[in-house]
Amino acid sequence: MYNKKIRSMAKPVIFEVRDMHGLFDPLSFRGLTLKNRIVMSPMCQYSATADGRATDWHFVHYGTRAVGGVGLIILEATAVESRGRISEADLGLYDDSHIEPLARIVDFVHAHGASVGVQLAHAGRKAWSPRKGIGPQQAVAPSAVPFAEDWPVPRELAADELPGIVEAFARAARRALQAGFDVVEIHAAHGYLLHEFLSPLSNRRQDPYGGDLRNRMRLLLEVVKAVRAEWPEERPMFVRLSAVDWAPGGLSLADTVEISRALKDQGADLVDVSSGGLVMPSEPIPEAPGYQTGFAAEVRRLAGIAVGAVGRITAPAQADAVIRSGQADVVFLGRQLLREPYWPLRAARALGVEVDWPRQYLRARR
């Protein structure tokens, strides 16, 4: 019954295409206007220095997608604590030395017409993932429950340590502002620390941060409130959630809708709707084209908050239909933009939309 229900919800919701906004129409959040509704999804590059600073790889990688016409680029999971890195080659915003190399990227992206955000993250029990949790610092989690059988047991965070986690996110947001980012996205998906607190599969606490959903979302809401207090009123804040855990007893779509309503009340502007990552699924996830757009559509409809759809969105007509049908407000593209950095320029041509090209490339426009 569980798998049947989840698989049915994973199918893209089909709406009648109405005369609504399209992929290349601008979209405003607070004081920021995106030139189109194509967002580069945060994807770890594992190319930072050992102390978490951005390198020339990041400059070229993100700069190329700005030249390629993406409306908003969200930088990869960027750790708010050293012990919260997914790997030892992850970006960080836990030290002031991280600001300058990120500001260099921000300035170049802005110069080429794109907006840019950063995803603030803490890996929790999935820290040091390439080595299955073995790293220079012990991984921490809501409960002493490992990600998988062959991973080490993380240390359970004490209640009096949680304000420090909240403050780490707030300090990282402060540094993101100094670097010039337009958007911050809080990573509460894919099995990392804030998702671990949300899911009953990983959160077995008996204190005010565990138990029912309201308690399990407490840390996330505290982080959102603290970041919103640091982040200027005119700049938007996104949150990435895993809509379902793809496992019995895990987060449900109904839970995600309730969490999204609470996030909206705390000042979040968009929910970036993904799924999974908390546990190893017992069965393959049905990753058909657009397999997560149905989740995004339900969150948008029931929680009344803007959403981003992500997952196997690859074709221009498909991406445009997601927007025009009201399933999502933006589309997040990941692997497709790795394959094809100039996908937005090709998509505009395929959809018959005129967009600006870099003047250096105009000879290739026709």
What does the block give as tokens for 311? 């997952």
The confidence score (pLDDT) of residue 281 equals 85
DSSP 3-state assignment of 75?
strand
> For the chain, which ranges sit under pLDDT 70?
1-19
The confidence score (pLDDT) of residue 282 equals 77
- φ and ψ at 29, to 5 degrees? -125, 120
DSSP assignment letter at 351: H
pLDDT tens across 331-342, in order?
Answer: 999 999 999 999
- Of 184, 172, 174, 168, give the one whose Cα is nearest residue 30: 184
DSSP 195-236: HHHH-TTT----STTSSSHHHHTHHHHHHHHHHHHHS-TTS-
The confidence score (pLDDT) of residue 284 equals 86
Cβ–Cβ under 8 Å, residues 192 and 123? yes
Task: Give the fold, CATH level 3, of 2-351.
Answer: TIM Barrel (3.20.20)
Active site residues: 192
C-alpha R_g of the chain: 19
The confidence score (pLDDT) of residue 11 equals 52
The confidence score (pLDDT) of residue 14 equals 39
Tally of CB atoms within 10 A around 293 = 28
The confidence score (pLDDT) of residue 1 equals 35
The confidence score (pLDDT) of residue 9 equals 52
Give pTM, 2 decimals.
0.94
The confidence score (pLDDT) of residue 7 equals 53
The confidence score (pLDDT) of residue 5 equals 54
Tally of CB atoms within 10 A around 358 = 16
